Structure 1
Amino acid sequence: MSSRAARVHFDPHVDIDWDAPWQFEMFALPPTSVSLYGTRRWRKLTPEQQRTLALHEAVSGWSTLAYLSAILTSNELRRAAEEGLNSAASRSALLEVARGSRATITFGRLVRATGLEPYKPPRGTETAAKLLAFLPLGSASYASTLLVEETFIRGIESVVEDPDIEPHVRQAVKIYRFESEERLSYARSEVAAAQSRSGRIERACNRVLLALLANVILRLNLSPAVYRSVGFSPVRGLIASRRVRRNRRIDTAAPVVEFLDSVNLLDGMITSSLWTLTGVASERKSS
């Protein structure tokens, strides 16, 4: 456990002023982060509709993060039980449980503060996401944490310094960004360690498993139902935003994809083909 982690943590119940009313006249996301931004349909929306869509897209992302953080936290509980409660590895795992729980609480309460219902994962993908709770504790399970959290924080970290963003959101992201530095560092070290101690067959299985999960995780942050908030059908919204969403997915996933490639988690013909389907990694030759 790092000295910094031992000294400092935030309490999502008291470090955000939940009693303050939500500022609906402000954006919940920077306009440039909204999936329709720059499109013809975006220009046709009124300022109020633009804020409404931003709020619904934010709630969709927060709902997904809270949901997946809760599932990934269960992996750390399993590790604590398997390692023995007095081991250093177990203590580190329990620290991650605490961090993951705070993230789930923070973004769950953020959704509730808006007065909107949480967005559920698309039908079918919910079952796939639940499989994260049953993953063998290997490089794929820790890399899944990176995919969930690093892509999320990279997509929203600019809101902290943006005075036009709703105050609850700015404070929640500030807290999350601070804690995510430790969480991402931990996940990266665990991925590298798991790769180094696993055999050839186990590494191959983890590569394929991670590539399958990536195709689910990287598409979960935006529910197509958000477009109904401004009078568009989900299909029309997805078609209009497809280029923006693709470019954003590539941008937010770039650092984690580079890291996964550096630890050989993108190697192999099957793995390469599956990652190509995500749209964030080019196909590689089998190693």
Structure 2
Amino acid sequence: MTLAHTNRIDTVHGDAEDDGRQGSARRLLASSARRSYDPTLEIDWDAPIPDDKYGMTPEWSSLYGTELWDRMTEQQRITLTKHEAASIAGAGIWFEMILMQMLVRDLYQHDPATPYVQFGLTEIADECRHSIMFARSAQRFGVPSYRPARWLRTSGRLFKAVASGALAFGGTLFAEEILDMMQRDFMRDDRVQPLTRTVSHIHVLEESRHIRYAREETARRMRTATRSQRAWVRMHLAVSAYLIVTNLVNERVYAAAGLDVAEAKAAARANTHYHDKLRFGTRRTVEFLDGVGLIGGPSTLLLRRAHIL
């Protein structure tokens, strides 16, 4: 095969790849036009907050199934789940801000007239609304704004500065899909606060587009990855997944529920029920990433420590 012929094949492959990306972006833009929500208008922010409803599905609590949970009063359980829901939302805001910056950096290199860039900008607008929605829901519950520790926020600055391609989109999947799995339970559970259910419903509907976008881009960018590039992404992806999953619950939520923080942290660390829920919440991400070669090798040690595997 001549070099000129090889170049023609590469060009044809590149054109087909771009056609697929642009076609998918057009479909996602059409979906956004049909089903997008403004939480400021869609949610009744003045509706009363019932005293007898959980902040989230209790089975997703880090203490559910432990002896400590059994000793807690029902009011303590309700309080804890409100604070845990706010903590999870705070982690979501933290990573959505990272995601928005990574997306802007990626889109900067592309033609804004293309559907790909226009859907990317649409996703950024969605994520802005989601972050505001999460913050307002915690405020409405009268719960503090839970943020990751300062060292983790600093680490996030480094991640968003260097992460690109499959690492950026793959890391996004770990954050988005576990939250998606949780919220699918929250929005269907009549034991849960109406506000949480409405917030979850909006987020699940809009996030389905973002997850599809991230999956397609991860797979697309791994097709031409070398063995060393694949290993590099795999390890850094495991680090980001570990930090995301192990920082969903801020330890201050236990004090808010009147619990001994050291005892509650020890109970959560040993809680096999919660570990099973984490594996359940990340299983679709793991299956997908394994299919594109991003699960395996030394990185699995971190994923096991995070109870993802």
Match of 1:253 among 269, 282, 286: 282
Give the match's secondary structure for 2:207: helix
Q: Which residue of 2 aligns with 1:88?
A: 115
Distance 2:103 2:90 in 1: 21
Q: Which residue of 1 aligns with 2:298?
A: 270
Contact 2:183 2:204 in 1 (8 A): no
Where do 4+ consecutive residues of structure 1 move more than 4 Å? none
Question: TM-score under structure 1 normalisation?
Answer: 0.91
Q: Which residue of 1 aligns with 2:17?
A: none
Query: Residue 162 of structure 1: CA displacement?
Result: 1.9
Give the match's secondary structure for 2:41: coil
Q: Mapping of 1:188-267 within 5 angstroms?
A: 188-242=215-269, 243=271, 244-267=273-296
Contact 1:250 1:279 in 2 (8 A): yes
Contact 2:54 2:191 in 1 (8 A): yes
Distance 1:31 1:277 in 2: 23
Distance 1:55 1:26 in 2: 9
Distance 1:13 1:45 in 2: 35
Match of 2:168 among 116, 138, 141: 141
Give the match's secondary structure for 1:82: coil
Residue 253 of structure 1 aligns to which amino acid in structure 2? T
Residue 67 of structure 1 aligns to which amino acid in structure 2? W
Q: Deviations over 1:134-186 (max 9, x none)?
A: 13321110011110010112123112122221111111101011111111111
Query: Residue 131 of structure 1: CA displacement?
Result: 2.7
Contact 1:129 1:216 in 2 (8 A): no
Identity %: 28
Structure (1 or 2) with the larger CA radius of gyration = 2
Distance 1:259 1:47 in 2: 39
- 1:26 paired with 2:53, answer yes
Match of 1:40 among 33, 53, 67: 67
Q: Which residue of 1 aligns with 2:185?
A: 158
Contact 2:89 2:135 in 1 (8 A): yes
Contact 1:39 1:240 in 2 (8 A): yes
Contact 1:63 1:119 in 2 (8 A): yes
Give the match's secondary structure for 1:124: helix
Contact 1:103 1:176 in 2 (8 A): yes
Distance 2:150 2:275 in 1: 21
Q: Deviations over 1:221-280 (max 9, x none)?
A: 11111110222232211211222332221121111111111110013x332333333232
Distance 2:254 2:83 in 1: 8
Distance 2:128 2:189 in 1: 26
Gaps of 5+ in 1: 282-287
Gaps of 5+ in 2: 1-25
Question: TM-score under structure 2 normalisation?
Answer: 0.85
What is the number of residues matched between the two proteins?
280
Residue 279 of structure 1 aligns to which amino acid in structure 2? H
Residue 13 of structure 1 aligns to which amino acid in structure 2? T
Query: Residue 130 of structure 1: CA displacement?
Result: 2.7
Residue 180 of structure 1 aligns to which amino acid in structure 2? E
Query: Residue 123 of structure 1: CA displacement?
Result: 4.5
